[in-house]
Amino acid sequence: MGAKVVTVTSGKGGVGKTTTTANIAAALAAAGHRVVCIDADIGLRNLDLVMGLENRIVYDLVDVVEGRCKLRQAMIKDKRVPNLYLIPAAQTRDKTAISPEDMIEVTAQLRRDNDWILIDSPAGIEGGFRNALAPADIVLIVTNPEVSAVRDADRIIGLVEAEEKDPPKLILNRVKPDMVRRGEMLKAEDVLEVLAIELIGVVPEDEQVLTASNRGTPLALDGRSRAGRAFQAIARRLMGEQVPLEEFAAEDGFLRRLSRKVRTGGQPA
Amino acid sequence: MLKSPPVTTMGSSLALKGIGDGLLVTVPDGDWHVVWPSLLQAIDERADFFRGARLVLQVADRDLGAAELGGLRDELQEREVALAAILSSSAGTRSAGANLGLALEIPRPELGEDGEREPVRFELEGDQAVLIERTLRSGQKVRHPGHVVVLGDVNPGAEVIAGGNVVVWGKLRGVVHAGATGNERSVVCALDLTPTQLRIGSHISVSPERKGNPRPEKAYVKDGNLVAEAWKTS
Ligand SMILES: Nc1ncnc2c1ncn2[C@@H]1O[C@H](COP(=O)(O)OP(=O)(O)O)[C@@H](O)[C@H]1O
Ligand SMILES: [Mg+2]
């Protein structure tokens, strides 16, 4: 069978791709799966920071592609969870160092011995977006509940569709339940109205995301924070479990209508 | 090559075909000094439709030098029309085009740093009408000299520019321009008609806030005003 390749991307930067990649990867590995993360955000590398592995980088993705090291040598083993590895991005400014074919080849080598390969992608407006997309079996689009972020996400969904991939799945990050309740923030329902793709998770705004990133310990490793639990739930949905959407994400009747919406919403054949 | 009957909504005729966001113009035979000005005139008569378009010129075996092609590109640029490609079997024309950095076949834009994107491909293509069996997403644009039918939504940030009618079997939220080559009798229909901006011919309107449930509506020009009413088949 081999691994599934999951590419995490977005329309614009700063919406939470790296946070999402690190947390879903940690949750999948904590569930006993073999996981490799690839930081494909060349030049803006920071997945290693969020995972707390920066000080152990010797080789990076470009070294692998250019044959300066073996794939195995560039894989950094996580400190806390077994079966979790990171292939860091290069700090180079040369974004042409890697091609879509390179990404397909690197992931092909990893597929056999792993369950999941998670790719932290640059935002869709960046050149490297296509590299990250090329090997993807599943594309996760991260967006925030803001009109402009949703508009950018829509563009990127169009690009993914143009590559003839399966319809991407949506993660709505940094939702503030209080504001949603007061009608001051876009609801998941409003976002899905426009994007019409499957919603795979809603993550609340949570201060602990930042403290965890600074410490280099993904939140999803302990389920005490709300955001951590939300990321765990996304990992479980990826593994095929039926996990109901978080309480805070729902408006009246929303949960009931969600499943129907998801089914009718996706791509017309 | 692709052939289409001339679009003859008004004034000079023009052999025109929509290719996603781009337009393919087949330049007729005859003396260049006659053909070219009449082509420009035909474009000027449909300025709204052409503004912002990427043009592919089919000139068959016509021999054009760098000066002619360069001049042509500049004149188009003044009209906010980009000359993207020149299609020709003449070696001279092809090398002049290549020197100017023009594509020599219908370009398929790569998605690059500037967010340029793949053109929307029509599912069903014709000279009179095209059918698009999907949702048009933000940034996607369709330009066609005939009618456009979308089986899906037209999302905010997407755009449809048609010489004829526009029918959307879904939510119309983006920008739509029907009758863009001047036909004020064109209509726009949608199951949920709440476009960011709606234009028919030279008329423009923005949607009022929706009251109540969405219903199928048809917009058209009545006594010089843009109006929308329930879409009935009778
Ligand atoms: N759910 C959240 N709650 C609070 N802060 C968040 C959340 N998700 C992301 N952030 C913060 O937003 C910033 C950008 O996140 P990051 O994952 O680096 O985005 P990207 O990789 O898309 O550029 C970081 O400072 C991160 O800590
Ligand atoms: Mg990032």
Partners of residue B137 in chain A, C-beta under 8 Å: 154-155, 157-158, 161
The boundaries of the domain holding residue A179 are 4-259
Residue A267: inside a domain = no
pLDDT band at B109, cuts 50/70/90?
low
Q: What is the A143 CA–ligand 1 centroid distance (Å)?
A: 11
pLDDT along chain A (269 residues), means of 10: 92 94 97 97 88 93 94 95 94 81 96 97 84 96 95 93 91 92 88 95 95 91 91 97 77 46 40
Q: What is the A122 CA–ligand 1 centroid distance (Å)?
A: 14
- Quick one: CA torsion of A154, A156, A162, A165, rounded to 10 degrees? -100
- Asked if A161 has any chain B CB less than 8 Å from its own CB, the reply is yes
Are both B185 and B141 inside the same structural domain? yes
Query: Cβ contacts of residue B174 below 8 Å, gap of 6+?
Result: B136, B138, B154, B155, B156, B157, B158, B159, B160, B195, B196
Are both B87 and B167 inside the same structural domain? no
Interface ipTM = 0.76
Are both B137 and B95 inside the same structural domain? no
Q: What is the A146 CA–ligand 1 centroid distance (Å)?
A: 15
Residue B110: inside a domain = no
- Asked if A42 has any chain B CB less than 8 Å from its own CB, the reply is no
- Asked if A165 has any chain B CB less than 8 Å from its own CB, the reply is no
Are both B95 and B133 inside the same structural domain? no
Residue B116: inside a domain = no
Are both B152 and B221 inside the same structural domain? yes
CATH of the domain at B187: 2.160.20.70
Query: Cβ contacts of residue A261 below 8 Å, gap of 6+?
Result: A189, A192
Per-residue pLDDT tens over the stretch B116-159: 455 677 766 666 889 999 999 999 999 999 999 999 999 999 99
Lowest mean pLDDT among A158-167, A220-229, B58-67, B104-113: B104-113
The reported pLDDT for the residue numbered A253 is: 44
Residue A122: inside a domain = yes
The reported pLDDT for the residue numbered B52 is: 86
Instruction: Please check whether residue B181 is in contact with residue B49, taking contact to mean a CB–CB distance below 8 angstroms.
Output: yes
> What is the three-class DSSP state of A134?
coil
Residue B65: inside a domain = yes
> What is the three-class DSSP state of A201?
strand
The reported pLDDT for the residue numbered A103 is: 96
Are both B145 and B220 inside the same structural domain? yes
CA–centroid distance for B177 within its chain? 10
Partners of residue A161 in chain B, C-beta under 8 Å: 134, 137
Contact B138 A151 (CB under 8 A): yes
Residue B8: inside a domain = no
Contact B157 A130 (CB under 8 A): no
CATH of the domain at B29: 3.30.70
The reported pLDDT for the residue numbered B234 is: 59
**Domain tally, chain B:** 2
To the nearest whole number, what is the mean pLDDT of chain B? 84
Residue A269: inside a domain = no
Are both B202 and B148 inside the same structural domain? yes
Q: Is A164 exposed, middle or buried (0-12, 13-18, 19+ CB in 10 A)?
A: exposed
Whether A126 lines ligand 1, by a CB cut-off of 6 Å, is: no
Q: Is the pLDDT of residue B10 over 90?
A: no
Residue A248: inside a domain = yes
Instruction: Please check whether residue B171 is in contact with residue B207, taking contact to mean a CB–CB distance below 8 angstroms.
Output: no
Residue A265: inside a domain = no
Residue B219: inside a domain = yes
Residue B72: inside a domain = yes
The reported pLDDT for the residue numbered A261 is: 45
Instruction: Please check whether residue B225 is in contact with residue B182, taking contact to mean a CB–CB distance below 8 angstroms.
Output: no
Are both B224 and B143 inside the same structural domain? yes
CA distance B147 to chain A (A): 21
Nearest CA in chain A to B121: A162
The reported pLDDT for the residue numbered A250 is: 53
Between B6 and A48, the more confident residue is: A48
Rounded CA-CA distance B179/B199 in Å is 8
- Which ligand has its closest atom nearest to the C-alpha of A220? 1
CATH of the domain at A143: 3.40.50.300
Rounded CA-CA distance B51/B29 in Å is 25
Residue B200: inside a domain = yes
pLDDT band at B48, cuts 50/70/90?
confident
Atom of ligand 1 nearest to the CA of A14: 23
Partners of residue A154 in chain B, C-beta under 8 Å: 137-139, 155-157
**Domain tally, chain A:** 1
The boundaries of the domain holding residue B49 are 22-99
Are both B135 and B53 inside the same structural domain? no
